[in-house]
A = this chain, B = another copy of it.
């Protein structure tokens, strides 16, 4: 029940431990096609360029920036937690001129702030937003920000590492141009891959680059030759077992159905909220914009934040996350992600916490 990795269903662990075939084996190529197809369904997109990067979510983040950004490009980044800060670091390493739009940790990025930032730069190339901030539990609405970005001629990049599979993520409807997720949150697959998707508009931007992509491992032009529909040109050796696991976890997501899965996450969040109310505890993220899958619970005055967290792990077998940055010592981060989002987990956590307070 931490901020990820979430618990992994037995059938995913079982799929992962099947004997390996080669990364160019016809049966693996068939599986790649099915993974791409299921990822499109989960992202709610028809983007051709949809596949998993062979690294964790942060590699997906870097994939988006190295392919879309060239030195001197103006980039606007929402920073309301750890991962907006990380995006700024990655963009800067690509040579971007970064304008940060900051909000207090736990609050969302407001469209007005983005509009102001867009007006302040000459030729904005990209607006980058963290949809669900794992470090704070806040969910930033995207539709209005997307309109503003596109009106200004910029692309929209979205981090859905924690939102994908746990609450609505609508890539095509929201006109998101570049998106990266993680496998270890609401998809309940082990960490190790990062599903990404690029719109046709993003791919045109890649094709129009003046210079090359600074990363070989993450160069979409090379990856497209392996993951695309064509000749399957060898690029790197895909993590076969991780792809087995992702295939099964996506199958489970679609078997449950996106709407039902989102509703389950919402219901368990509300059950947790009600229980916390009963204990006199508060969720700290901005009201009306709280994540269902990651709940930042305010540590009450006088409670031993680290001690309770350690006791939860060692005596109750329940992992919760510590606060990061300005929230260090102030919150516990309680994940209800994917397979871990269950009434049983909520009730076990509440009972344990009650006995420790």
A residues with CB within 8 A of B: 2, 4-5, 7-8, 13-14, 16-23, 25, 54-59, 61-62, 86, 89-90, 93-94, 182, 184, 190-192, 212-217, 234-242, 245, 313, 319, 324
Contact = CB atoms under 8 A, between A and B. Distances in A.
Contacts of A17: 13-14, 16-17
A82 to B, nearest CB: 8
Given A5-B23, A22-B319, A239-B239, 14 more contacts: A5-B237, A7-B19, A14-B17, A25-B313, A25-B319, A56-B238, A57-B236, A58-B235, A59-B217, A93-B212, A93-B214, A94-B214, A190-B240, A191-B237
Contacts of A234: 324
A136 B332 CA distance: 54
A70 to B, nearest CB: 13
Contact of A237 (B13, B62, B184, B215): B184
A62 B66 CA distance: 14
Copies in the complex: 2
B216 A90 contact: yes
Nearest to A188: B20
A308 B20 CA distance: 22
A237 B57 contact: yes
A216 B58 contact: yes
Contacts of A19: 7-8, 13
A215 B89 CA distance: 10
B25 A8 contact: no
A192 B54 contact: yes
Contacts of A21: 319
A241 B93 CA distance: 30
